[in-house]
Amino acid sequence: MTIPIADNLLRVRHRIAAAAIKAGRDPGEISLVAVSKTHPWDFVVAALAAGQLDFGENRPEEAYAKFIEQGGAASPRPRLHLIGPIQSRKATIALTCRPVLIHSIDRPKIARKLNGLAVAAGVTLDVLFEVNVSGEVSKFGFDPDRLTAALPELLALPALRSHGLMTIPPFDADPEAARPVFRVLRQLRDQLQQAWPQADWSQLSMGMSHDFEVAVSEGATIVRVGSAIFGPRTYPT
């Protein structure tokens, strides 16, 4: 089966714009990250040809194999977002992928580890803090209170630059079920902005294929969309 990637992208972009307009927002405030995990590099090439520049991967090794080994010379240059949990022993490869944004800083330990590696490499990393809004045990991310407690240390790490928050709601077939989770993330962001105005809290990474319109209506600035663009994934992630 051939996946009509360019058509899918167009449709998703239209739906984002329509949801933004309906919510009284400027569609230009919202960026689309096309989640290419599990799919071959060819799919990224097709999306690049259709004007998509931002891509998301959840495993550093897979990101490295595609975006550096296979796609290192691609033009235009894709912008890689790391969106999955990073194990400490994968931190070096995560850095080597040269991500434009790491959405998934989910515990102090990985923040310290990435900071140490970035300091040594003389680079800075742009990051979001992942929040487990629902308290679902199977989910990664900071409990909101723990994040607040850890922020003095996290914001002082010299090679990490915070830009906001990310969340993944519990899966529910009804996209409306995610609305309260998205709303709480935005409210938390507003509180953190008040408490730590010296940091950048502008980005809210929330919304996936089945709920991105709800996320846009609740203030998402980045949506991470995989299957609605690239089709179903054939093996579990």
Ligand X SMILES: *Cc1c(COP(=O)(O)O)cnc(C)c1O
Residues of this chain that interact with ligand X (CB under 6 A) are 35, 37, 58, 83-84, 168, 208-209, 224-228, 237
DSSP per-residue string spanning 166-233? E--PPP-SSGGGGHHHHHHHHHHHHHHHHH-TTS---EEE---TTTHHHHHHTT-SEEEE-HHHH---
Give the integer Cα–Cα distance in Å for 14 and 27.
10
Q: Which is nearer to ligand X, 126 or 193 (CB)?
A: 126
Query: Which H or E element spans position 31?
Result: strand 31-35
Q: Which is nearer to ligand X, 114 or 206 (CB)?
A: 206
Rounded to a whole number of angstroms, the minimum distance from the CB of residue 122 to ligand X is 29
CB-closest chain residue to ligand X: 226
Rounded to a whole number of angstroms, the minimum distance from the CB of residue 62 to ligand X is 12
Rounded to a whole number of angstroms, the minimum distance from the CB of residue 128 to ligand X is 11
Rounded to a whole number of angstroms, the minimum distance from the CB of residue 232 to ligand X is 8
Q: Which is nearer to ligand X, 170 or 196 (CB)?
A: 170
Residue among 150, 156, 104 at smallest CA distance from 127:
104
Q: Which is nearer to ligand X, 95 or 223 (CB)?
A: 223
